[in-house]
């Protein structure tokens, strides 16, 4: 599916959108629910990644294919490895077979797990023969992906003696680790995180409890970008969000002030309002705590003619695509001057955006969604637009609600 986007001349919006639950919280809670069936969950994510996680958790044998879902791959690896009655081959899309899993596999093996690589050492697919994991201490590198750490923490309360992790190196994507620990605390599991040591205590039973997933802040990022590119006075209302979020991407409320967007919290609604034309020419952010916002922010800057220097992007090359390379290629097509290195992106302020460009999306939902707001400024085509279903299947419908004209070409 190839979609051409445009927007009426008058760039003013005043609309409400409902976004479903965070995919990160959803996939954590689904795993915890499999371990502790007394947990009920509301406002689940309707994403493909949430769906493959739900299906995967039910499998006891055979091949489990989680497609593009990084969290499902990592969380299910730990889950299956710790379940005595399960024996599966866990696999994913071609890209998933290029996303490293060695750090997690080695940590699990250290704890007593039986896991073998089916194709390439260090990468899915992997064969997992579930075992009671006997040990309760392990150290692992923390600078590649926080998902390895969250995966271990999620199974930790079900291990006889809980788990002690020693994190080696600079810890990346820290809010995602804290989210995991906070959800464990919410179901009554005791945890601690001091320096580079994390401890999770064992738990046999969880009392009946219903957890409501907050809506997805990474999905909200695209509306921040849209509002930033609109005329002052424009606003978009989103539900259901909290001022005290577990999601690190809620840092958007602060960052987008630089682009003239204010966030107003009222009950469980947020209103994003464009209050002023931006008068900043250049922004610098370290996004190591909010890596999924990098594409959105880079495109907002281009849309506003601003420059940016984004750092802390060392995890981007191993995500759904090499996001640094993909950003450079697509921003350049639009006329931008971009430089990247292993962990940063620099965009020069530019005066114009090339019209009529087709954006390639590289099987990456965030490439499609991050570039879509530019439809407010120029006709733009998004190739393979169906990729959004990985995290946000309703994305294009919601853009139509805002007034975008979307044509299947």
Ligand X SMILES: C=C(OP(=O)(O)O)C(=O)O
Q: Decide if residue 86 touches ligand X (CB under 6 A).
A: no
Binding partner of residue 69 among ligand X, ligand S3P, none, CB cut-off 5 to 8 Å per kind: ligand X
Alpha-carbon torsion, ordered 388, 393, 399, 400, to 10 deg:
130
Tokens of 149: 């750490």
Q: Which of 150, 296, 321, 361 touches ligand S3P (CB under 6 A)?
A: 150
Q: Per-residue contact track with ligand X, 27 to 66, x per CB under 6 A?
A: ----------------------------------------
Dig out the tokens for 407 from the structure: 């044509």
Q: Is 69 in the site for ligand X (CB under 6 A)?
A: yes
The answer to whether 391 contacts ligand X (rule: CB under 6 A) is: yes
- Closest to ligand X by CB, 71 or 361: 71
DSSP string, 344-406: -EEE---S---TTEEEP-TT-HHHHHHHGGGGGTS-EEETTGGGGGGT-TTHHHHHHHHT-EE
53: helix, coil or strand? helix
Burial 361-400 (b: 16+ CB within 10 A, else e): bbbbbbbbbbbbbbbbbbebbbbbbebbbbbbbbbbebbe
Shortest Å, Cβ 111 to ligand X: 23
User: Given candidates 7, 176, 223, 404, which one binds ligand S3P under the rule CB under 6 A?
Assistant: 176
Partner touching 29 among ligand S3P, ligand X, none, CB below 5 to 8 Å by kind: none
Pick the stretch among 131-139, 142-150, 250-258, 372-380 that binds ligand S3P (CB under 6 A). Answer: 142-150
Query: Which segment (29-37, 67-75, 270-278, 337-345) binds ligand X by CB under 6 A?
Result: 67-75
Instruction: Give the one entry of ligand X, ligand S3P, none that residue 221 binds, where binding means its C-beta sits below a cut-off of 5 to 8 angstroms depending on kind.
Output: none
Of residues 86, 95, 131, 366, which one binds ligand X by CB under 6 A?
366
Neighbours of 325 (CB within 10 A): 13
CA angle 16, 12, 9 (to 5 degrees): 135
Q: x-or-dash pattern for ligand X, window 257-296, by CB under 6 A? A: -----------------------------------x----
Using CA atoms, how far apart are residues 35 and 206, in angstroms rounded to an integer? 10
Examine residue 219 and tell whether it contacts ligand X (CB under 6 A). no
Q: Could you list the residues known to form a binding site for phosphoenolpyruvate, using ranges.
A: 23, 70, 99, 147, 323, 366, 390
Q: Which residue is nearest to ligand X (CB)?
A: 70
Which residue among the candidates 48, 292, 322, 398 is catalytic per the annotation? 292
Q: Of residues 82, 91, 146, 295, which one binds ligand S3P by CB under 6 A? A: 146
Choose from ligand S3P, ligand X, none: what does 366 bind? Cβ within 5-8 Å by kind.
Answer: ligand X
Q: Can you name the residues that pair with 359 across neighbouring β-strands?
A: 382
Q: Burial level of 8, CB count in 10 A (0-12/13-18/19+)?
A: exposed
Residues facing 4 on adjacent strands: 381, 407
* Residue 179 tokens, joined: 């989210």
Select the binding partner of residue 150 from ligand S3P, ligand X, none (C-beta < 5 to 8 A, by kind): ligand S3P
The answer to whether residue 292 forms part of the interface with ligand S3P (CB under 6 A) is yes
Q: Which helix (H) or strand (E) is 35 found in, with range?
A: helix 23-35
Note the Cα 205 to chain centre separation in Å: 30
Q: Which of 33, 43, 47, 71 binds ligand S3P (CB under 6 A)?
A: 71
- Position among 319, 362, 374, 377 found at the interface with ligand X (CB under 6 A): 319
Q: Which stretch binds ligand S3P (CB under 6 A): 83-91, 172-180, 351-359, 395-403?
A: 172-180
Residue 216 is given by DSSP the state P
Sign of the four-CA dihedral 380, 383, 386, 389: negative
H helix runs in 124-277, sequence order: 146-155, 174-186, 217-229, 252-255
**Residue 152 Cβ vs ligand X, minimum distance, rounded to whole Å:** 16
Segment 309-338, which members bind ligand S3P (CB under 6 A)? 315
Asked if 360 is an active-site residue, the reply is no
Token pair recorded at residue 44: 């689940």
* Binding residues for ligand S3P (CB under 6 A): 24, 71, 145-147, 150, 172-173, 176, 291-292, 315
* Binding residues for ligand X (CB under 6 A): 68-71, 292, 319-320, 366, 391
Catalytic positions, written as ranges: 292
């Amino acid at each position: 599916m190839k979609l051409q986007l445009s927007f009426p001349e008058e760039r003013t919006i005043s609309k409400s959108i409902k976004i479903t639950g965070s995919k990160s919280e959803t996939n954590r809670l689904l795993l915890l629910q499999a371990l502790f069936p007394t947990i009920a969950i509301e406002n689940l994510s309707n994403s493909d990644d949430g769906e493959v996680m739900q299906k995967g958790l039910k499998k006891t044998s055979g091949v489990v294919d989680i497609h593009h879902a990084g969290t499902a791959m990592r969380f299910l690896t730990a889950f299956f490895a710790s379940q005595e009655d399960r024996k599966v081959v866990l696999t994913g899309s071609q890209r998933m077979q290029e996303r490293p899993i060695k750090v997690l596999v080695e940590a699990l093996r250290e704890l007593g797990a039986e896991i073998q690589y089916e194709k390439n050492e260090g990468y899915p697919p992997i064969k997992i023969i579930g075992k009671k994991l006997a040990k309760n201490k392990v150290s692992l590198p923390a600078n590649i992906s926080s998902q390895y750490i969250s995966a271990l923490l999620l199974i930790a309360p079900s291990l006889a003696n809980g788990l002690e992790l020693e994190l080696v190196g600079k810890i990346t994507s820290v809010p995602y680790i804290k989210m995991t620990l906070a959800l464990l605390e919410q179901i009554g599991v005791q945890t601690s995180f001091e320096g580079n040591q994390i401890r999770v205590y064992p738990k046999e039973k969880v009392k009946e409890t219903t957890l409501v997933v907050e809506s997805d802040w990474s999905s909200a990022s695209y509306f921040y970008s849209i509002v930033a590119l609109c005329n002052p006075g424009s606003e978009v209302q989103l539900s259901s969000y909290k001022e005290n979020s577990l999601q690190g991407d809620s840092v958007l409320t602060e960052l987008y002030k630089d682009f003239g967007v204010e966030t107003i919290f009222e009950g469980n609604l947020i209103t994003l309002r464009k209050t002023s034309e931006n008068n900043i020419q250049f922004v610098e952010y370290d996004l190591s705590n909010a890596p999924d916002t990098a594409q959105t922010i880079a495109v907002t800057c281009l849309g506003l003619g601003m420059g940016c220097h984004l750092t802390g992007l060392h995890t981007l090359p191993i995500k759904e695509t090499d996001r640094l390379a993909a950003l450079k290629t697509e921003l350049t097509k639009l006329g931008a001057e971009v430089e990247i290195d292993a962990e940063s992106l620099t965009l020069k302020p530019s005066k114009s955006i090339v019209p009529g460009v087709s954006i390639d999306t590289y099987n990456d939902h965030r490439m499609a969604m991050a570039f879509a707001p530019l439809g407010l400024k120029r006709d733009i085509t998004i190739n393979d637009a169906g990729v959004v279903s990985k995290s946000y299947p309703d994305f294009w419908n919601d853009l139509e609600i805002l007034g975008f004209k979307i044509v299947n070409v």
